[in-house]
Structure 1
Amino acid sequence: SCMTLAAARLGWRLEEVTTLGLHAAPFEVLLPHLAAGARLICTLRDGAAPAALADYLTAQGFGASRLTVMEALGGPREIARAADAATFDLSGIAAPVVVAIAVSGSAGISHAPGRPEALFAHDSQITKSPMRALTLAALAPRAGELLWDVGGGSGSVSVEWCLAAPQAQSIAIEPRESRCDNITENARRFGLAGRMRCVQGTAPDALADLPLPAAVLLGGGASEDVLQAIWDRITPGTRLVANAVALETQALLIRWQGIHGGQLLRIDLAQAAPLGTMQGWHPSRPQLQWSVTR
């Protein structure tokens, strides 16, 4: 009801507004919704939160956004005041409080998978942007589904999976503690801490007590034992995608495709790079992707 009242006060069409409950969620959940021209209405936890929200928007490059702070909507204490995020100077704000944001500033992050590596915390162990987009297409995320991201690395695929569909969730399995830290940081950056987590361990042992997924990504370290353990554990209808660079792992995937079917895709990527005074193609190592439904 407060969202409806706020939209009515501003003359905004509610069906064209994104509404978010930030009273019990971090500001990072805003990130996928921040784009020039967007309109957001958010509930906040207390009177200090609007200033913190303005600081967050400014840090993300949206300092020109107009914030309308509405207190005690629908009651005798109702008041609405406005300020830009970058110069926010409103004080004495009292809960309950709702803030409407007319977003202005940078273009925001893309809604398509394959977002730039610079957005993620990583130690260079990260699925590169084009490969990530192809992997997400093969995984085919849907609302509310759970992904096992086996060999999570930076967790970039888990982030992309969760952003791709409402309430999609991911469990990343990663043996290195430092990379689990990166996965946790990336979940925080994108406001996905409630939908994405890291299990430190090595497959197949680390999979034993996990809830069953709708899809599995085997991003690295595929072996006969790991593949067999995953195949035996998942239920019919589960989607499995495995990527391989090493020839031995590619041979394994080719053999499994011969047994279980599915699609094999060889991926050769090259980027333009300086070559003396001109440019030439700098190729990445070819990868093989096997995608199959159990």
Structure 2
Amino acid sequence: MHEAPWLTVLGLGEDGLDGLSPASRQVLERAEIIMGPPRHLSLIPDSTAQRVEWPVPFADGLPVLTGFRGRPTVVLASGDPFWFGAGSVIARNFEAWEWTALPGQSTFSLAAARLGWPLEATLTFGLHAAPLTRLRPHLSPGLRAILLLRNGAAVTELATYLTETGFADTRLHVMEALGGPRERSRSVSLTEALLGGFDHPVCVALEVAGEGRALPKSSGKPDEIFETDGQITKRPVRALTLSALAPHRGEHLWDIGGGTGSISIEWLMCDPTLTATTIEPRADRAERIRRNADALGQDRLTVIHGTAPDALDGLSLPDVVFIGGGLSAALLDWLYATLPAGTRLVANAVTLESEALLAQWHEKRGGDLLRIELAQAAPLGPRRGWKSGYPVVQWSVTL
């Protein structure tokens, strides 16, 4: 039978003790150790408790916190610790019986209340340590979103990013120190935001407007959004390939022969719980995949410069594998010998040799074999005719 929790994750607002419930006040009074960022510690009056500043980077604080195990300890967090806060990190690193949480009012709730926006129809982002490019798949005229930013200078960076992506008519609602005596709210244009002068802590609500290109939500994103040297799975084939890969929540993809990275990037765009690793033998293309992923807000893509199957050793096993390049009998043998039953595999072939290989493996292992032939209207003298692309043979199978 476990003892009572020794660790409390306490959500704190900018009004300090004034916004705390009686239960939260009692926890603070009984604490031997209070740990948190300097700003949060400054909101708590002096007491007999030992005060410990949470170090930067954040992960360095976990061993320090572990050293207090068994002693009444309070970790201070902003608002609701489980909404882009420290709560989930602590929950992953400590047993469930060791900790409890007393959430405060979230910054998102306070911001929505100031603006009169329904939260269920508003996107929320925690961009304290994440790049602004995380916004890119969502940017579209009419979007409303609330962002948590790392500091006041990030407001100017946000205004610059929105201008560069074509959404220069966006209106920003900049809110500083919400819920506290220093609270200040301003609605500004991007031009005004570029002048700076904003103080931390800050959140920004966006009303997106402008002539920027909105990315479609369907599979088969426009080819033009990817930097490429011509080695790219074209949009219609990419849409059919994503359909065959059939991403499910929480799955991990191996994209072998990444090329431009379009398959793994679109895979990640389907759902924020998806993960992917792409393997590319050419260094220049691996670097290009990294640039594409970062520019399109998919910085969580892992890019490996190497050749399969050698580069696959030691990687976390996938739920789904896509082979877009480097197809060989040796690679298929390795995948069948190494991956667990139930792993889904999709392979695309263009050459006669790789097409013949897929036909042999389809006969041996089953699955579905699909031939994709597409033609596009193009000038033909003074008239128009159909210009056919190379046919693509696609094999889909469950190991």
Same fold (TM over 0.5): yes
Are the counterparts in 2 of residues 149 and 170 from structure 1 also a CA contact under 8 Å?
A: yes
Within 1, Cα distance between the matches of 2:167 and 2:191? 8
**1:222/1:52 Cα in 2 relative to 1: closer, same or farther (>3 Å)?**
same
Show structure 1 runs of 4+ deviating over 6 A.
none
**1:65/1:219 Cα in 2 relative to 1: closer, same or farther (>3 Å)?**
same
Superposition deviation, residue 228 in structure 1: 0.8
Aligned counterparts, 1:1-294, within 5 A: 1-89=106-194, 91-106=196-211, 108-193=214-299, 195-294=300-399
Are the counterparts in 2 of residues 62 and 103 from structure 1 also a CA contact under 8 Å?
A: yes
Unaligned runs of at least 5 residues, structure 2: 1-105
Percent identity, aligned pairs only?
Answer: 52
Are the counterparts in 1 of residues 378 and 386 from structure 2 also a CA contact under 8 Å?
A: yes
Superposition deviation, residue 89 in structure 1: 4.9
Superposition deviation, residue 163 in structure 1: 0.3
Secondary structure of 1:29's aligned partner:
helix
**1:156/1:89 Cα in 2 relative to 1: closer, same or farther (>3 Å)?**
closer
Within 1, Cα distance between the matches of 2:351 and 2:161? 43
Range that drifts further, 199-208 or 11-20 = 199-208
Amino acid at match of 1:272: A
Aligned residues: 293
Within 2, Cα distance between the matches of 1:43 and 1:149? 32
Q: Which has the higher contact order (CA 8 A, sep 6+)?
A: 1
Unaligned runs of at least 5 residues, structure 1: none
Superposition deviation, residue 130 in structure 1: 0.7
Superposition deviation, residue 112 in structure 1: 1.2
1:211-239 CA-partner distances (Å, limit 9, x unpaired):
10010001122111011111211111111
Within 2, Cα distance between the matches of 1:147 and 1:50? 35
Superposition deviation, residue 2 in structure 1: 0.2
Amino acid at match of 1:280: G
Are the counterparts in 2 of residues 147 and 213 from structure 1 also a CA contact under 8 Å?
A: yes
Specify the structure having the higher radius of gyration (Cα). Answer: 2
Within 2, Cα distance between the matches of 1:89 and 1:239? 48
Secondary structure of 1:279's aligned partner:
strand
Amino acid at match of 1:157: I
Are the counterparts in 1 of residues 308 and 326 from structure 2 also a CA contact under 8 Å?
A: no
Are the counterparts in 2 of residues 239 and 293 from structure 1 also a CA contact under 8 Å?
A: yes
Superposition deviation, residue 258 in structure 1: 1.3
Are the counterparts in 1 of residues 108 and 146 from structure 2 also a CA contact under 8 Å?
A: yes
1:216-270 CA-partner distances (Å, limit 9, x unpaired):
0011221110111112111111110000011121111111111211111100011
1:95-128 CA-partner distances (Å, limit 9, x unpaired):
0000000111235111112111211121111111
What CA RMSD, in Å, does the superposition of the two structures yield over aligned residues? 1.2
**1:127/1:94 Cα in 2 relative to 1: closer, same or farther (>3 Å)?**
same
Are the counterparts in 2 of residues 268 and 283 from structure 1 also a CA contact under 8 Å?
A: yes
Amino acid at match of 1:16: A
Amino acid at match of 1:170: A
Are the counterparts in 1 of residues 367 and 397 from structure 2 also a CA contact under 8 Å?
A: yes
